[in-house]
Structure 1
Amino acid sequence: MKNLPGAACALVLLALLPACRQTSRETPSVAEIRAINLKQGNLTMCGPAEKQLGSATFETSCGGAVRANFNLGLALLHSFEYDEAEKVFASIIARQPDCAMAYWGVAMANYHPLWTPPTPVELAKGAKAAALAQRLPQQSAKETAFIEAIAAFYTNWEQADHRSRSIRFEKAMEHVYANFPSDKEAAVFYALALNASAAPTDKSFRQQRKAGAILAGLYPNEPNHPGIVHYLIHTYDYPELAALGLPAARKYAAVAPSSAHALHMPSHIFTRLGLWNDCIESNLAATASARCYAETAGIKGHWDEELHGLDYLAYAYLQQGNNRQALAQWRYLDTMQRVSPVNFKVAYAFAAVPARYVLENKQWAQAAQLPLRSKHLNWEQYPWQAAIVRFARSLGFSHLGHPDSARRELAELRRLHAALLAQKDTYKANQVQIQLHAATAWLRFAEGKPADALPLMQQAAALEAGTEKHPVTPCEVLPAQELLADMLLALKRPAPALQAYEADLQQHPNRFNGLYGAALAAEQAGNLEKARRYYQQLLDVARAPGANRPELAAARAFLAQQRTQAI
């Protein structure tokens, strides 16, 4: 663990700003700068003794004395280390309050595209920083273009929704890219903007493919640029494109080992491709780095990035059939009394990790009693995450034959869905709608109404196929296509069940339950060769020590019987 000072000098507190001589009447006043409420302090990073964040450069009109710090802040932005980036840009403002691009850096640090929409506090801060950047004189044409682009995002932020603002930023960055075609940062930030504004329902991935072409063109000459390798991973974080992101996933952690996010991010591609050992190694490193960061930064409790990695870690262990390690992540999560900051990632992990464990293991009694855990979370602020627990409880009650209890959980799901619609959060509302269709389908099935149940389950699968998962999650808590296959198998229709399992495996390679379900459906359909192949694939995926699910014993028994009959 290491508390690393900022480059060039220890960060200067803004309290010293009165000693700074203003260079023109346009220079922001001390009061204006203090009103931004900038994050300050020493740069906190873990990993190598000398911070390693890759190489990114931007020629600014600010004095040469802050050039190294500006490039450090730029590299931190590209690895989504937003708090640390803001500290670095704050140190530049303290030394050179007329450096317009330092205010641009603060505004960028509060946007965080591809993450979650900024809070009102972050929006207000970013808007103030962007306005000061616009006001300052003596900017180059390129700097002016960058500043105008981020200002477009913050314009009228009180009324405009996040997607509209992101589209404005993307269009403005397109202008920057067109006017400065040889500038690599213009290209990199334009690619990021394309990904941030891409519609989750666009299954042609038009914007992602465009971003990928830009980044791939830059990569050969910039293999250590953190933004290029990072955004290539985000660009290809889709089942249809994931193989294209594997080289970047293999590279990113080595480019920026001082960033916990850089250690975690490759696991997005590893998860998409079903490379569970790689995913586990990535998140073991990331969660260790996050714990180090929390201790070094003086965070009381756990840092939110650790919980994000834990969700991916628990998911990967479950796909290997390693219940012991998956349960250990859940138990560890239960020990956490304080997390900072409390946000959507934290709420998601607290909801998803327990729900995944009980649902993937078909522990219906435990699913029915799953609590909304964590005293420091106001679950009313996180309806999408709370819906995960209600969904698990509803499935649990339906499988146990308790329809009245299942209906009560469905009523809660409808309430949460309505809350998301009221918030105009269409994406999350659609995710809960998928859960509503699926949970209602299994209630109808439990009531002995398969003719009503199956169409509902098919609707859920179709709706889920038409959109993409959120980057916060390694996978839907239970894929709707897999639940459809489970229902078809329960209806003794193994042939269509096999088709549904195989469709699910196209989107979620090497999922434990997908492989076992496909094998079982093939066996029941009389396709013994395909059953043998899926059972063997399941055993190959679940080779890790500690893999002890009963499905593995069934796979071994089938394969042993096949060998005996072949003799």
Structure 2
Amino acid sequence: MVFRAVCLFGLLVCFAVAPAQDEPGPGHSHLGTAFDSGLRSKPWKFEGLGNAPFPISTINPETQGWYDQGNELLHSFWFEEAERSFRWCLKLEPENPMVYFGLARCGLNWFSAGAGPDPSLQRFRDFLNEAVKRKDKATERERLYIEAWDAAWSKTGDEANREIIRRLEELCVKYPADIEAKCQLAFFNIGHGSALANEFLIQQILAVNPMHPGAHHARIHNWDDVDGAQAVASCELYGKAAPGVGHALHMPGHIYAGIGMWHEAAIAMDSATRVELRHMTQRLAFPFENWNYPHNRDYLSYIQEQLGRMEASLQGSRDIFNAPKDPAIAASQYPAMMPYSRALIKFEQWEQILDETSWPATLSGFEADFKSLAQVFAWAGLGKAEKAREALTKLEASLETQIADEIAKSPADAARIRKEFEENMPPVFRVAKAKVLLAEGKRTEAIRLLLDIAEQERLAREEGRYSNDPPSDPWPAIRVVGDAYLAGGDYGSAIDAYEGTLAVVKNDAWALAGLAKAHAARGETEKATRYAERFLAVWSGADPNLKLLGEVKALNLTTTPRAETLKPEREYVPANLDAFGPSNWVPFAAPELDGLDINGKRITLASFRGKNVLLVFYLSDQCVHCMEQLGAISNRHSEFENLNTVILAVSATTPKANKDSLKLGAFNAVLVSDVDHQNARRFASYDDFEEMELHSTILIDAQGRVRWKRSGGEPFGDVDYLLAEIKRWNPWRTE
């Protein structure tokens, strides 16, 4: 269940944990610290979420509609937007226990069952506690839901999973018409029993609601890594059931990639990326506010690699790297150099790897290691054995330093830390050593090492330990074994290795090309032609002039592209997907800013076009933390000025009060009055649930585009980060 683990990480880090406080400070929620995080502006009615109602007891007729929307969002893992919908329900009915239950499920769900007392889940546990306090106001059915979650999230590990499954089974037996209970049970059953038995439960849901988004979603996860072909029907329907949700378009790509339908996989992932980017543009959101975006973009890049679309895959990595980050959200620190180096190594772009201008100007940590890794392959691929060995030694020293740094933090755990580090190291790092041995002419030793790596990878796949979501490695290790045998003229062994590759990566283009070359070398023209035709079908839209494409064409076989897939595929043509949204992330146009300065003169962003703008929404000069933030920024005024950046400080204070304030007068900032909060609302710096101002720090570039923002109960005080972010806007070398 690698996917579930990856997504749990993304889910947890998307929700910051607010510090405990006795009395709420300015900008903090009056409902408790659990409400200080999350989206705090009013939700809107989504289109294209699918139909997944969850009937609850309500007083206000408006509540049920918002509750259903929140539930539909949960069924497609759009947790942050689901929370926003449930927050609005709470505004309508502040004592409704099921509203608190909905809020709790935004964090206490399939991903986190068994996670135990994780601090990142505390706010959701707080929501659940509020539901428990009010459960006497609920119906028996509603109370059973609340008690099921309360019991399960009081336990850890497998015991928690068993508890939620048992409780949901009781609900399904007592209320057989409750589709929601069956759908929840279908998800929690995944990985805890028979996929076939769970399929029969999912079919019961679809018999009542053939387009239930949660049922199709559950079926895809149920069969993923088990027998993907069983989920193809839901792959074709999930995106149609919920066309407005990126994840609903994304998940079929998992199945299609697993069964070698690469064109359909690309259509799925590309459509998902575009829908997510469209939403960001329309709703002034950022990639770091969507846990699924970097995962989706990486997966699309991997699939584009498999289709021979090298330039598109590299652009995807650049998009991930160039997208703004939030230092408080670990998921936004996605290692973009992993897919970038994966593509460069896979396509053997040795000269490009060694060209420093091909990489971002500054890299550190694991990102730098992926660059160093690629350089090892490049020198080895060019036959520069001495340079390759030198690069490998440098890489190994860097990795050893990282291990030593971790051990220094906890010397008593040295053995465990080293073991975990080595076990979690992607196989490609060991393959690099084998490539150096090949460059040094040590063929026997290299193949022995490659075979060992391939065997370890095979075991990891069998035991569910292999990271394949998507893979960080450019290829299965067994394929590199095939390449080594092919280069040495051992065509029979090469064929065996390539066929082994196809067993784990269906319709892998490199394995198909390798089989075509190996069979052609043995004079087996018919077999060579068959594999060449399959290769050409996969690479029907590949970039021209790629080395592998030229090698297959050089076989001079009479071929017609001929796919061998479970079902006929549509061809992946990116231009056909333009209606879904943009293909790459770009900063969005800033909302209108229209306020008054201390003299009553109108202030707009247009007044500062051609300059970057640091826009700070603060509460008043009575807010101590606000004054600290503005003071810290003002003290660095000259540094911002050197970066062509002006500072605007916006509050609801009148122009006269701003002018008369001794505290504000000391700051090097343009003070802007927003008395009616209209600017705060446009920039999502206003809490519509509790009707109060929020702290916001926003960076706008010289073209009037929003590049970064942070809103919430605390002002953002890391001035170094703001300065670095402005400098980062063009991180790739262009000289």
TM-score bucket (shorter structure): 0.7 to 0.9
Larger strand fraction of residues: 2
Task: Tell me which of 125, 128, 142 is aligned to 2:126.
Answer: 128
- What's the CA shift for 1:227? 0.9
SS for the counterpart of 2:168 is helix
SS for the counterpart of 2:541 is coil
Query: Share of identical aligned residues, percent?
Result: 23
- What's the CA shift for 1:230? 1.1
Task: Tell me which of 261, 269, 281 is aligned to 2:247.
Answer: 261
- Cα separation, 1, equivalents of 2:187 and 2:417: 24
2:43 equivalent in structure 1: 43
Whether 1:58 aligns to 2:54 is: yes
1:11 equivalent in structure 2: none
- Cα separation, 2, equivalents of 1:396 and 1:119: 46
Aligned length in residues = 508
- What's the CA shift for 1:318? 2.2
Change (3 A) 1:465 1:173: same
Whether 1:520 aligns to 2:533 is: no
Task: Tell me which of 105, 110, 128 is aligned to 1:108.
Answer: 105
Q: Which runs of 5+ in 2 are unaligned?
A: 1-28, 408-412, 561-735
Task: Tell me which of 285, 296, 306 is aligned to 1:309.
Answer: 296
- What's the CA shift for 1:345? 5.7
Whether 1:176 aligns to 2:167 is: yes
1:194-233 correspondence runs (5 A): 194-195=189-190, 206=193, 208-233=195-220
Q: Structure 1 length as normaliser, TM-score?
A: 0.78
1:111-510 correspondence runs (5 A): 111=108, 113-114=110-111, 122-138=120-136, 139-151=138-150, 154-155=153-154, 164=157, 167-181=158-172, 182=176, 183-195=178-190, 206=193, 208-238=195-225, 241-299=227-285, 304=290, 305-333=292-320, 336-339=322-325, 346-348=332-334, 350-367=336-353, 388-389=370-371, 391-399=373-381, 400-401=384-385, 402-413=388-399, 430-432=423-425, 434-466=427-459, 467=461, 468=464, 469-470=466-467, 472-473=469-470, 476-510=473-507
Q: Structure 2 length as normaliser, TM-score?
A: 0.61
- The residue identity in structure 1 corresponding to 2:439 is A
1:350-403: CA deviation from partner (whole Å, max 9, x where unpaired): 1333122201111234446789977999x66xx6x7765554344334444221
2:25 equivalent in structure 1: none
SS for the counterpart of 1:462 is helix
Comparing 321-330 with 70-79, which one deviates more in the overlay? 321-330
- The residue identity in structure 2 corresponding to 1:364 is W
User: Does the Cα contact within 8 Å between 1:134 and 1:148 map onto a contact in 2?
Assistant: yes
Change (3 A) 1:212 1:390: farther
- Cα separation, 2, equivalents of 1:404 and 1:429: 21
1:150-185: CA deviation from partner (whole Å, max 9, x where unpaired): 3456448xxx6xxx2xx3442122112321232332
- Cα separation, 1, equivalents of 2:305 and 2:391: 28
- Cα separation, 1, equivalents of 2:379 and 2:153: 46
1:440-482: CA deviation from partner (whole Å, max 9, x where unpaired): 3333333443343333322322232233454642674322222
Comparing 415-424 with 98-107, which one deviates more in the overlay? 415-424
Larger gyration radius, structure 1 or structure 2:
2
1:4 equivalent in structure 2: none
User: Does the Cα contact within 8 Å between 1:355 and 1:370 map onto a contact in 2?
Assistant: no
Comparing both chains, which one has the higher relative contact order based on Cα–Cα distances under 8 Å and sequence gaps of 6 or more?
2
SS for the counterpart of 1:558 is coil
- What's the CA shift for 1:127? 1.9
Change (3 A) 1:483 1:348: farther
- Cα separation, 1, equivalents of 2:42 and 2:71: 17
- Cα separation, 1, equivalents of 2:33 and 2:419: 37
1:14 equivalent in structure 2: none
User: Does the Cα contact within 8 Å between 1:390 and 1:409 map onto a contact in 2?
Assistant: yes
- Cα separation, 1, equivalents of 2:67 and 2:457: 42
SS for the counterpart of 1:409 is helix
User: Does the Cα contact within 8 Å between 2:182 and 2:201 map onto a contact in 1?
Assistant: yes
Comparing 340-349 with 302-311, which one deviates more in the overlay? 340-349
Change (3 A) 1:321 1:119: farther
- What's the CA shift for 1:406? 0.8
SS for the counterpart of 2:554 is helix
SS for the counterpart of 1:539 is helix
- What's the CA shift for 1:538? 0.9
Q: Which runs of 5+ in 1 are unaligned?
A: 1-29, 199-205
- What's the CA shift for 1:224? 1.6
- What's the CA shift for 1:346? 4.7
- What's the CA shift for 1:525? 4.1
User: Does the Cα contact within 8 Å between 2:220 and 2:255 map onto a contact in 1?
Assistant: yes
Larger helix fraction of residues: 1
Query: Aligned-pair RMSD on alpha carbons?
Result: 3.8
Task: Tell me which of 79, 82, 86 is aligned to 1:85.
Answer: 82
- Cα separation, 1, equivalents of 2:274 and 2:402: 34
- What's the CA shift for 1:531? 1.7
SS for the counterpart of 2:348 is coil
SS for the counterpart of 1:127 is helix
User: Does the Cα contact within 8 Å between 1:310 and 1:349 map onto a contact in 2?
Assistant: no
- Cα separation, 1, equivalents of 2:394 and 2:488: 26
